[in-house]
């Protein structure tokens, strides 16, 4: 089980050629708590710049942590030395967004997949080759693919190679950062189904980072919504989509187009004004108050913390209850979908 | 009903590629758009949807490209028109909004310069008047403090703002036709909602004809009155949007709908289309979708199916279509 507590990642903004003066910081991740029970999927959603990818990288220590702890199965990843961390990465693997950029074009598929096996000394001799065949089978690629190079494959097949590479280390947790965003619509479903099958067969735990709320609903058990470096709402998937409580979640859900004209014509849209503020100079108080239609004076001063409204359903909003009442009073039933 | 503003008839675009081979990117596409109407073209990468857009505005390179068919804008033949005439069409009577606002704006010119350039070129007004008009346009597309923004360079604006600037440039000379090629694909969902709302408003207020090119069926469902589904260079199905989504008949349309997860409910396991968009056979050898089609039979190979007008409305290119009234999703 993965536990992330008060995770903070600040990137310094520097100025000056000779003396690096730090003149500020981009607060990419600013106090994030996440819990992912074993063999479940947590969907981390948010718009570009909200810090969701940085959370994924910070868990693997691919970026330095400013503060906070990351614990995986009683092993505190955030406290490990470099060499220990390198070994620990066997348990936590990553699948990247761009299947064109994340595979070395000069390595053939066998070499790509065997690299984690050799690095972590999981198999030796003929067993390595045997393992490659097993992995190709499990991601639905022909065994003949082993001798070929990434450019010979389509986007969907490349993503399968990336998944096979992640599986080669026999991980418990997989961090998938936008795994289907770069793929054609008809191919996305193939990869989504493959990820679901692998979870069932191998008992994998997933952290799925995505901007696509429909994909996240489809495969997540729990969903956390991020805005400007912090989680604003987290809930079991069904509860989050049927009963969203944070105004940002409401706006986000109402903005996603649904491929059904009947639904599209009857929806209540909550179009947000303006753009995402800069994470180097975040608004005071509640970070969403500059774009929130329900914002009041208190929101400019007090930064709301996550509080539990229902079992497992946490929201960082001072007025979540009042907003729910005002919405149910003005509209009948289905709010955003 | 009014006369169509744009009539594309039997458009072919063929690229000569190395080794003397030819690639038929667009292979006999026909559709029409009326003023105030939004028509969608949906398809995956390589389906020919963007090439269709470029062909309409005469933006394809002349070398190695052969086009045939007819493109009539208000009765004027655009295919084969001189570059001089096309320059007059582009910007003044028809405009295009591209996918990526970062690469389609000039990074070394201010937003104001790029806007006024279009205005002075097409409307023949003085610089002062052009600046006023530019500020007006930025205001119209919902950019706050338009006068200050005119002095900004593209990199100083966010993605959504840049796309608004692109739309402002497109609107500069009040064109009768706007072609938008994946205008919201590079944007976040909340910004996408803003830009789609803006496009709806433009169509409503200025009675503009809009051709919306996208791979996103959700965007299509929300904004287009009629939809053309393209596969491998040809339209395989077209219909009014309510009919198309309620009763899709081509197996490719059905496959697309079944493979996207829906926000408004879990639909169980997704049903992907097997293979990839590159698994096609040439239309001359049969239906290009046959290698991936669940209903393909011998009848689908050997001869390409014709695009026929179905008695229930819409057109369809399939010898064994799904029966009428079979939605992909059964209720919510």
What does the pLDDT read at residue A14?
82
Mean pLDDT is highest, among A171-180, B19-28, B57-66, for: A171-180
pLDDT beyond 80 at A274: no
Render B146-157 in DSSP notation, one character per residue. HHHHTT--GGGS
Number of H helices, E strands in chain B: 11, 12
Order of strands, sheet of A2-15, starting from the edge strand that comes earlier in the sequence:
A21-36, A2-15, A67-72, A75-76
CB contact under 8 A, B189 and A272: no
What does the pLDDT read at residue A324?
81
Instruction: For residues A145 and A117, give the distance between their C-alpha atoms in angstroms, rounded to a whole number.
Output: 18
Give the H or E element holding residue A241. Answer: helix A237-242
- Looking at CATH, the fold of the domain delimited by B6-224 is given as Rossmann fold (3.40.50)
Which member of B196, B260, B270 has the closest CB to residue A193? B270
> Chain B closest CA to A235's CA: distance in Å?
16
Instruction: For residues B311 and B307, give the distance between their C-alpha atoms in angstroms, rounded to a whole number.
Output: 13
Instruction: For residues B271 and B143, give the distance between their C-alpha atoms in angstroms, rounded to a whole number.
Output: 42
What does the pLDDT read at residue B231?
94
Which residues in chain A touch residue B259, judged by CB atoms under 8 angstroms apart? 185-186, 188-189
What does the pLDDT read at residue B121?
85
Closest CA to A317 of A233, A198, A243: A233
Count of positions (residues) in chain A: 337
* Average confidence (pLDDT) over A185-197: 91
Mean pLDDT is highest, among A2-11, A253-262, A276-285, for: A2-11
Instruction: For residues A52 and A71, give the distance between their C-alpha atoms in angstroms, rounded to a whole number.
Output: 18
Instruction: For residues A131 and B263, give the distance between their C-alpha atoms in angstroms, rounded to a whole number.
Output: 38
pLDDT beyond 90 at A266: no
CB contact under 8 A, A258 and B329: no
pLDDT beyond 90 at A19: no
Residue boundaries of the structural domains of chain B: 6-224, 230-316
Count of CB atoms situated within 10 Å of the CB of B231: 26
* Average confidence (pLDDT) over A139-161: 92
% chain B with pLDDT above 90:
57
At A325 the three-state DSSP class reads helix
Residue A332 — pLDDT band, cuts 50, 70, 90? very low
State which residue of chain B sits closest to A212, comparing Cα positions.
Answer: B189
Greater model confidence, A318 or B2:
A318
Residue B302 — pLDDT band, cuts 50, 70, 90? confident
CB contact under 8 A, B259 and A217: no
Order of strands, sheet of B6-17, starting from the edge strand that comes earlier in the sequence:
B21-33, B6-17, B65-73, B76-77
Closest CA to A274 of B193, B115, B151, B135: B193
Residue A58 — pLDDT band, cuts 50, 70, 90? very high
pLDDT beyond 60 at A258: yes
Which member of A188, A214, A262 has the closest CB to residue B263? A214
What does the pLDDT read at residue A333?
42
Render B18-87 in DSSP notation, one character per residue. GGGEEEEEEEEEEEEE-TT-EEEEE--TTSSHHHHHHHHTT-S-STTEEEEEEEEETTEE-TT--HHHHH
Which residues in chain A touch residue B160, judged by CB atoms under 8 angstroms apart? 275
**Of the candidate ranges A174-178, A184-188, A209-213, A293-297, the one whose mean pLDDT is the lowest:** A184-188
Which residues in chain B touch residue A211, judged by CB atoms under 8 angstroms apart? 188-189
Mean pLDDT of chain B: 89
Residue B263 — pLDDT band, cuts 50, 70, 90? confident
**Of the candidate ranges A102-111, A215-224, A260-269, B166-175, the one whose mean pLDDT is the lowest:** A260-269
* Average confidence (pLDDT) over A285-296: 92
Q: How do residues B217-259 score in pLDDT, each as one tens digit?
A: 999 999 999 999 999 999 999 999 999 999 999 999 999 999 8
Q: How do residues A105-114 score in pLDDT, each as one tens digit?
A: 999 999 999 9
What does the pLDDT read at residue A329?
61
CB contact under 8 A, A271 and B257: no
CB contact under 8 A, A190 and B272: yes
CB contact under 8 A, B260 and A189: yes
Count of CB atoms situated within 10 Å of the CB of A130: 11
Residue B99 is given by DSSP the state S
Which member of A192, A196, A258 has the closest CB to residue B264? A258
Residue B2 — pLDDT band, cuts 50, 70, 90? confident
> Chain A closest CA to B303's CA: distance in Å?
25
Residues B266 and B260: beta-carbon distance below 8 Å: no
CB contact under 8 A, B256 and A262: no
User: Which chain A residues in 275-304 lie under 8 Å from chain B, judged by CB atoms?
Assistant: 275-276
A140 touches chain B (CB under 8 A): no
Going from the C-alpha of B123 to that of each of A106, A204, A231, B62, the distances in angstroms are 54, 62, 50, 28
Closest CA to A28 of A1, A65, A2, A62: A65
Which residues in chain A touch residue B217, judged by CB atoms under 8 angstroms apart? 185, 259
A53 touches chain B (CB under 8 A): no
**Of the candidate ranges A41-55, A124-138, A204-218, B274-288, the one whose mean pLDDT is the lowest:** B274-288
Instruction: For residues B322 and A324, give the distance between their C-alpha atoms in angstroms, rounded to a whole number.
Output: 43
Residues A230 and A285: beta-carbon distance below 8 Å: no
Count of CB atoms situated within 10 Å of the CB of B176: 18
Render B154-167 in DSSP notation, one character per residue. GGGS-HHHHHHHHH
Instruction: For residues A115 and A110, give the distance between their C-alpha atoms in angstroms, rounded to a whole number.
Output: 9
A253 touches chain B (CB under 8 A): yes
- Domains of chain A and CATH, by start: 2-91+171-330 (3.40.50.300), 103-170 (no CATH)
> Chain A closest CA to B260's CA: distance in Å?
7
Instruction: Tell me the CA end-to-end span of chain B in Å, nearest whole number.
Output: 35
> Chain B closest CA to A155's CA: distance in Å?
9
**Of the candidate ranges A102-116, A131-145, B158-172, B236-250, the one whose mean pLDDT is the lowest:** B158-172
CB contact under 8 A, A255 and B261: no
> Chain A closest CA to B189's CA: distance in Å?
6
What does the pLDDT read at residue B110?
94
Q: How do residues A199-250 score in pLDDT, each as one tens digit?
A: 999 999 999 999 999 999 999 999 999 999 999 999 999 999 989 999 999 9
State which residue of chain A sits closest to B218, comparing Cα positions.
Answer: A259
* Average confidence (pLDDT) over A183-193: 88
Q: Residue B89 has which token pair?
A: 């069409």
> Chain B closest CA to A129's CA: distance in Å?
27
% chain B with pLDDT above 70:
98
Which residues in chain B touch residue A260, judged by CB atoms under 8 angstroms apart? 221, 245, 262, 264, 329
Residue A334 — pLDDT band, cuts 50, 70, 90? very low
Residue B267 — pLDDT band, cuts 50, 70, 90? low
Residue A330 — pLDDT band, cuts 50, 70, 90? low
What does the pLDDT read at residue B266?
57
What does the pLDDT read at residue B332?
37
State which residue of chain A sits closest to B195, comparing Cα positions.
Answer: A271
> Chain A closest CA to B126's CA: distance in Å?
32
């Amino acid at each position: 089980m993965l536990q992330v507590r008060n995770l903070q990642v600040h990137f310094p903004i520097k100025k000056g050629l000779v003396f690096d003066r730090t003149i500020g910081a981009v607060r990419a991740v600013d106090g994030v708590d996440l819990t992912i029970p074993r063999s479940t999927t947590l969907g981390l959603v948010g718009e570009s710049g909200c810090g969701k990818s940085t959370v994924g990288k910070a868990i693997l220590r691919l970026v330095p942590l400013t503060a906070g702890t990351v614990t995986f199965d009683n092993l505190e990843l955030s406290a490990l030395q470099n060499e220990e961390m390198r070994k620990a990465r066997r348990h936590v693997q990553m699948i990247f967004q761009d299947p064109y950029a994340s595979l070395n074009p000069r390595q053939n598929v066998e070499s790509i997949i065997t690299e984690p096996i050799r690095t972590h000394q999981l198999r030796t001799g003929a067993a390595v080759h045997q393992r490659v065949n097993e992995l190709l089978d499990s991601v639905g690629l022909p065994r003949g693919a082993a001798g070929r190079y990434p450019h010979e494959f389509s986007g969907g097949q490349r993503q399968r190679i990336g998944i096979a590479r992640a599986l080669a280390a026999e991980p418990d947790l997989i961090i998938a950062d936008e795994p289907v965003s770069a793929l054609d619509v008809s191919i996305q479903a193939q990869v989504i189904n493959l990820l679901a099958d692998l979870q069932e067969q191998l008992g994998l735990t997933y952290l799925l980072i995505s901007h696509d709320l429909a994909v996240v609903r489809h495969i997540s058990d729990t969903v956390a919504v991020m805005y400007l470096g912090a989680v604003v709402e987290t809930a079991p998937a069904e509860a989050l989509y049927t009963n969203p409580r944070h105004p940002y979640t409401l706006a986000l859900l109402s903005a996603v187009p649904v491929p059904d004209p009947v639904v599209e014509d009857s929806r209540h849209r909550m179009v947000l004004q303006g753009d995402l503020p800069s994470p180097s100079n975040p608004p005071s108080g509640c970070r969403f108050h500059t774009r929130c239609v329900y914002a009041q004076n208190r929101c400019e001063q007090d930064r709301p913390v996550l509080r539990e409204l229902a079992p497992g359903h946490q929201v960082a909003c001072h007025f979540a209850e009042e907003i729910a009442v005002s919405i149910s009073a003005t509209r009948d039933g289905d709010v955003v979908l | 009903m009014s006369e169509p503003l744009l009539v594309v008839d039997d458009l072919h675009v063929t690229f000569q590629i190395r080794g003397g081979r030819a690639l038929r990117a667009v292979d006999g596409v026909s559709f029409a758009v009326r003023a105030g109407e939004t028509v969608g073209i949906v398809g995956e990468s390589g389906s020919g949807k963007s090439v269709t857009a470029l062909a309409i505005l005469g933006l394809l390179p002349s070398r190695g490209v052969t086009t045939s068919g007819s493109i009539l804008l208000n009765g004027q033949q655009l295919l084969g028109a001189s570059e001089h005439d096309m320059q007059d069409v582009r910007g003044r009577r028809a405009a295009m909004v591209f996918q990526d606002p970062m690469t389609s704006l000039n990074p070394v010119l201010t937003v104001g310069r790029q806007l006024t350039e279009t205005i002075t070129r097409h409307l023949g007004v003085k610089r002062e008047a052009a600046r006023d008009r530019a500020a007006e346009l930025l205001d119209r597309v919902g950019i706050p403090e338009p006068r200050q923004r005119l002095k900004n360079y593209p990199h100083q604006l966010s993605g959504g703002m840049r796309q608004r600037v692109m739309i402002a440039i497109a609107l500069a000379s009040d064109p009768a036709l706007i072609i938008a090629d994946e205008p919201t694909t590079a944007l976040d969902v909340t910004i996408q909602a803003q830009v789609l709302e803006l496009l709806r408003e433009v169509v409503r207020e200025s009675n503009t004809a809009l051709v919306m090119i996208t791979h996103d069926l959700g965007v299509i469902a929300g904004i287009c009155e009629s939809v053309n589904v393209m596969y491998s260079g040809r339209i395989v199905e077209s219909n009014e949007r309510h009919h198309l989504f309620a009763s899709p008949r081509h197996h490719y349309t059905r496959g697309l709908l079944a493979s996207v997860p829906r926000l408004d409910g879990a639909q169980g396991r997704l049903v992907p289309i097997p293979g990839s968009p590159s698994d096609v056979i040439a239309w001359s050898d049969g239906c290009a979708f046959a290698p991936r089609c669940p209903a393909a039979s011998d009848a689908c190979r050997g001869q390409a199916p014709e695009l026929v007008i179905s008695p229930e409305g819409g057109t369809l290119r399939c010898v064994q279509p799904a029966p009428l009234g079979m939605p992909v999703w059964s209720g919510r």
